[in-house]
Amino acid sequence: MKNNAYLLNFLLPLVLISCSQKDQKNTKAMLQADGKIIEFQLDDQTPNVSMGMDYYSGLLFNINWAYNQLQIYDFASRKLIKNLNFEVEGDQGVGELFGFHVHNLDSIFLFSQMDPFIYLTDTSGFVRQKVRYQIPDGYSSAFVHPGYFLSPPELRSGELIVKTHFAGNYREVDNNALKQKHMVYAINLSTGETRFLNHTYPEDYLANGLKHFEPSIARNKDKIVYSLFGDHRLFYAGSYDEKLLSKEAPSAFLEKNLKLFPLEGGRFETQQYLLASSRYESLVYDPYRKVFYRFAYPTLEVSEENDVLRLRTAPGPFVIMVLDNDLNVIGESYFEKGDYLPSNFFINEEGLFISLNHPDNPENSEEHFRFQKFSLQFLDS
């Protein structure tokens, strides 16, 4: 498969947005910086901006694309304790690493961007299993990216449920075509067979015209929830066999009427739409505080192409919405540009940690991963 055969890959603003807290709206709950800053020392091979990280059981995992490695940091000591270096080819080869998913410390799944293989390893770095699976016709391989529209896989009854993209010309997709397309499929880890699940794109998502339709997927014990780039609503179901329902969940900081894709525009207008218009990106679930966080981005006025392209690595202001288990918005926190890099964050027992390594932050460190801790504060009604 080729990159240009699949939708959305050209739309990868892999590094997201910045922040500094200001006004709060819908304030039953808010994220509060508590003054705690933590640092992880980096080696010479590790950039201070991650392409994807995840926390599990006292360990922070970081993927380093340039060296085909998965790093493991001990959260308590803030030290790198393991560098899992993977070969590209051979018996222990995993191709070029693109994404990973830590199911537990004995089951770490590795993914390349396009190859139809899943690799199973553990904290030893030894590849224990290699699964070749059947990519459904007209769709991509499993799209597992740990830093872009987060959508972690889910292991259920011997099947791995993964996000996918469908093939075609992005500009020619209409509502009738999109509503028939699947967002996820299941891979049987024993046979490599795949099957579509019942979750297709919302029936009316493109009813008023073309919008970027990348989803982010999060789950709690009761719901599978989808957030899409250009819709205030969330879409959810109790299982993969059920039809998706919708719930209004608008951010008070975004435009009421979200913009459409500029079909008549050129490169600048496209990038302006993707990087500077009101939109939603990652949706994540915090299992410790039992809330969802939805990352949203207000419209930013930019008039020069260099300025809009710089937003890929030095993004502007953003919002973190807090939603309860019923998907009610219970709070929003607004963050100014230039302080934080929210593509680099993780959640653990203590709170939400967001990177301070925004290029415009004077506290940006080339030698460390630096994070500000945020606590979820519930306000008196």
Report the C-alpha gap between 222 and 255 in whole angstroms: 30
Q: What is the pLDDT of residues 95-126, one digit of tens each?
A: 999 999 999 999 999 999 889 999 999 999 99
How many CB atoms lie under 10 A from the CB of residue 142?
29
Burial, 268: exposed, middle or buried (Cβ in 10 Å; 0-12, 13-18, 19+)?
middle
**pLDDT tens readout for residues 2-26:** 333 333 333 333 322 233 344 445 5
For 131-183, write each residue's pLDDT tens digit.
999 999 999 999 999 899 999 999 999 999 999 999 999 999 999 999 999 99
Residue 219: burial class (beta carbons within 10 Å; 0-12, 13-18, 19+) = middle
Percentage of the chain modeled with pLDDT above 70: 93
> What is the band of 342 on the pLDDT scale with cuts at 50, 70, 90?
confident
Residue-level pLDDT at 344: 96
For residue 219, give Cα distances in angstroms to 14, 65, 150.
22, 27, 11
For 74-83, the pLDDT digits (tens) are 999 999 999 9
d(CA 211, CA 228): 10
- Rounded mean pLDDT of the chain? 92
Question: Angle CA(366)–CA(369)–CA(370) in degrees, nearest 5?
Answer: 100
Model confidence pLDDT, tens digit, residues 245-284: 999 999 999 999 999 999 999 999 999 999 999 999 999 9
Collect all residues with Cβ–Cβ distance below 8 Å to 30 and sequence separation of at least 6.
24, 322, 331, 332, 333, 376, 377, 379
C-alpha to C-alpha distance for 86 and 81, rounded to whole angstroms? 16
